[in-house]
Amino acid sequence: MFNFIRLAFACLLLLWLPTLQAADSGWLQSPQNDHAKVRLRADNSKGEQTRVLLSVELEKGWKTYWRSPGEGGIAPAISWQGEPPPATWYWPTPQRFEVAGISTQGYHDRVTLPLVLKGGVGKLAGTLTLSTCSNVCILTDYPFTLDLATPADPQFDHDFAQAMGQVPIASGLVDSIRVGYQHGELQISAERAAGWQKPELFFDTLTDADLGKPVVSSDGTHMQARVPVSDGWGEGAPDLRGKQLRLVIGDGGMAQETTLTIGGSLGLPSSFGFPLWQAVLMALAGGFILNLMPCVLPVLGMKLGSILQVEQRDRHRVRWQFLASSLGIVASFMALALLMTLLRLSNHALGWGIQFQNPWFIGFMVLVTLLFSANLFGLFHLQLSSSLNTKLATHNGQGLSGHFWQGAFATLLATPCSAPFLGTAVAFALAASLPVLWGMFVALGIGMSLPWLLIAAWPALALRLPRPGRWMNGVRWGLGLLMLLSSLWLLSLMTNHIGAKPTLIVGTLLLTGLLLAIGIRLGRRAAGIATASTLVVAGLVLLVNSLTVGAGRQPLHDNIAWQPLSEQAITQALAQHKRVFVDVTADWCVTCKANKFNVLLRDDVQKALSADDVVALRGDWSRPSAEISAFLQRRGSVAVPFNQIYGPGNQDGEVLSPLLTREAVLKALSAAKGTQ
């Protein structure tokens, strides 16, 4: 009997002593979400604080989020009843998840989060809100009550210590770490004497900035990372210099949490997965291919025309003329590098051909091409100031200044075109340090100059052209007509800025004025020939278009149900196990137009893109768009056209070549379907 009384007394003592109190909610599950269950336990045995453990168990394929979810998701949160002491959350090292270009940070399988509340409390009650995601996301509430007057859990101290062991340490992993910023990109550099195995980075949210998936590389004791930065409000990436960045860096099962002040660019070498010399080769190849694009053909015709018009041709003169044109090309690419430098320093969007988003630049190009056309028609000769005593290249082939400006003009007309290797080379350049950017643009200029330099090296190639004669008048008119068509195409780009009707009126006035000038300068017969030629060319264009439509059986209209481009639309489509075709285009992009008429409007491609399990998304970059700039930047691109295909068989997306083919599009769409 005495032993029984002693045991009962001991049990009462355990219930009374505050140093031995604990609480357990047990595993909680919601009828609206059978993919997750949670458990909360608390202990106030320390007296001055109450410790809480929040455990989450998830089914396979499901995840929940860290304190900073990343580009999507919601962190776990507790709404307390009453006014409990402030709670400090401790977060174990997370993992990174990426779907359709959206990068998030969180946990899968099982995770335990430690919390510490100041002071001891007798009862805790509230609602845990937990976001869990797989192909879909579910936001679930778990009401709970913890009564700390219940018997102690002898396992609690061990479990709490184990959970705290998963929380990143304050120091000891990294010897030194720096963080810098240049437009649209965070740069991180860290040193670790023990060497890096597989480093990972996780970031807290910054005001008005979304941080994407870091591109991390390591070599021995050095680690570097680049992190794309965008603005969730669509106003362009903000300037992060001077702001505080809280980050977790992990490696080999250890993690360290650090808070740093963001400085200027660290000038890191490229993280594109290939060395600088390969990027230079891509720049040379991309620049060379630009000569084959329709944008540059009118200027090449002018160059040949200027050679043909010279009565006395010699190797020395031809060599210097083509060298001057090559210098004009390289100088123009250096001017583009200067423009990109100024845009980067002022935190504006960067991209290939973005000057054609500016109506003033388009208007300037319309006037320049129209003047070149009038000059080729023989209405007048363009000439610079007499003090410089230089002439444009189309005037009697005299002077080198004109040939220089021909090269510069060719570069301006080339910028609406994209070509294989060009987009990758430009993206590499814009993500690199300023010296590398300038070097890459010079390489692009040299690449485009290669055909011109070839003739400069062997002038005999140009000297074999036929001697000038009366037939040259026809050549001049043909070149003038070709340049006039370029001018009218540039004018059509103004539709996005001033509307279709004003653009049509301006075009009609320009054509009428040009025909009147031809009549006054060259006579009625020449004006009649010019008018007839214009009508014949317009008729031929319509005829060729109708024959092409009939032969290729292309639809007269685009029957694809295009939807606005967004990261959310991609994620939603993938969650529904659908394929996604992304098309980023612009009215000023000649390659985009070629892709549209040669590939996207073909019957078989139209049929494939209209399938029930295909979502077609289109982004228009004709005018400045921070959303599209950020979309391209996250994918390492700065030029259009940009095409990418997602699907159950390719969650990360396959980027297609700038020059589309029917076979490539259909093959990628088929592969994206997977084995479902």
If asked whether residues 507 and 538 sit together in one domain, one would say yes
**Is 60 exceeded by the pLDDT of residue 14?**
no
**Is 80 exceeded by the pLDDT of residue 240?**
yes
| pLDDT confidence of residue 131 | 93
If asked whether residues 432 and 317 sit together in one domain, one would say yes
More confident residue, 142 or 455: 142
pLDDT tens track for 459-516? 766 665 555 555 556 666 676 777 777 777 778 778 877 887 888 888 888 888 877 7
| Within a domain: 632 | yes
| pLDDT confidence of residue 264 | 81
Task: Determine the average pLDDT of the residues in 578-600.
Answer: 85
| Within a domain: 169 | no
| Within a domain: 650 | yes
| Within a domain: 269 | no
Per the CB < 8 A criterion, the answer to whether 41 and 33 are in contact is: no
**Is 90 exceeded by the pLDDT of residue 352?**
no
The last residue of one of the domains, among 104, 137, 164, is 164
If asked whether residues 155 and 198 sit together in one domain, one would say no
| Position 519, amino acid | G
If asked whether residues 145 and 186 sit together in one domain, one would say no
If asked whether residues 282 and 426 sit together in one domain, one would say yes
Q: Where residue 268 falls among pLDDT bands split at 50, 70, 90? A: low
| Position 491, amino acid | L
Residue 186's φ and ψ, nearest 5 degrees, are: -85, 140
For residue 628, give the nearest of 638, 126, 264 by alpha carbon: 638
| pLDDT confidence of residue 471 | 52
For residue 425, give the nearest of 309, 510, 293, 337 by alpha carbon: 337
Q: Where residue 222 falls among pLDDT bands split at 50, 70, 90? A: confident
Distance CA 134, CA 59 (A): 10
| pLDDT confidence of residue 274 | 56
If asked whether residues 108 and 63 sit together in one domain, one would say yes
pLDDT tens track for 565-581? 988 888 888 888 899 99
Q: Where residue 540 falls among pLDDT bands split at 50, 70, 90? A: low
Task: Determine the average pLDDT of the residues in 583-595.
Answer: 82
Domain with residue 25: its CATH number is 2.60.40.1230
Task: Determine the average pLDDT of the residues in 173-200.
Answer: 88
Domain with residue 199: its CATH number is 2.60.40.10
If asked whether residues 454 and 311 sit together in one domain, one would say yes
Share of the chain above pLDDT 90, in %: 22
Distance CA 407, CA 405 (A): 5
| Within a domain: 484 | no
Q: Where residue 101 falls among pLDDT bands split at 50, 70, 90? A: low
| Within a domain: 267 | no
Distance CA 308, CA 462 (A): 9
For residue 496, give the nearest of 425, 587, 366 by alpha carbon: 587
Task: Determine the average pLDDT of the residues in 349-366.
Answer: 71
| Position 624, amino acid | P
| pLDDT confidence of residue 53 | 95
| pLDDT confidence of residue 384 | 39
| Within a domain: 558 | no
Measured over the CA atoms of residue 406, residue 410, residue 411 and residue 413, the dihedral's sign is positive
What domain count does the chain have?
Answer: 5
**Is 50 exceeded by the pLDDT of residue 187?**
yes
Which token pair is 160?
């709490």
Which token pair is 431?
């993500």
Q: Where residue 143 falls among pLDDT bands split at 50, 70, 90? A: very high
> How many CA atoms within 13 Å lie on the side-chain side of 342?
5
Computed over every residue of the chain, the mean pLDDT equals 77
Q: Which helix (H) or strand (E) holds 522?
A: helix 500-522
Q: Which helix (H) or strand (E) holds 200?
A: strand 200-203
**Is 70 exceeded by the pLDDT of residue 296?**
no
The last residue of one of the domains, among 138, 164, 190, is 164
Q: Where residue 250 falls among pLDDT bands split at 50, 70, 90? A: very high
Statement: the pTM of the whole predicted model exceeds 0.85: no
Most confident segment among 228-232, 513-517, 598-602: 598-602
Q: Where residue 109 falls among pLDDT bands split at 50, 70, 90? A: very high
| pLDDT confidence of residue 275 | 67
Domain enclosing residue 523, as ranges: 499-552
| pLDDT confidence of residue 16 | 40
| pLDDT confidence of residue 353 | 63
**Is 80 exceeded by the pLDDT of residue 642?**
yes
| Within a domain: 557 | no
Distance CA 438, CA 433 (A): 9
Residue 188's φ and ψ, nearest 5 degrees, are: -125, 135
If asked whether residues 375 and 473 sit together in one domain, one would say yes
Domain with residue 581: its CATH number is 3.40.30.10
| pLDDT confidence of residue 575 | 83
Q: Where residue 248 falls among pLDDT bands split at 50, 70, 90? A: very high
Q: Where residue 23 falls among pLDDT bands split at 50, 70, 90? A: confident
If asked whether residues 292 and 215 sit together in one domain, one would say no
- Range with the lowest mean pLDDT among 142-156, 320-334, 389-403? 389-403
Task: Determine the average pLDDT of the residues in 84-92.
Answer: 87
| pLDDT confidence of residue 177 | 93
More confident residue, 487 or 646: 646
If asked whether residues 197 and 332 sit together in one domain, one would say no
- Range with the lowest mean pLDDT among 316-330, 466-480, 524-538? 466-480
If asked whether residues 127 and 257 sit together in one domain, one would say no
If asked whether residues 535 and 568 sit together in one domain, one would say no
Per the CB < 8 A criterion, the answer to whether 619 and 585 are in contact is: yes
The last residue of one of the domains, among 552, 584, 613, is 552
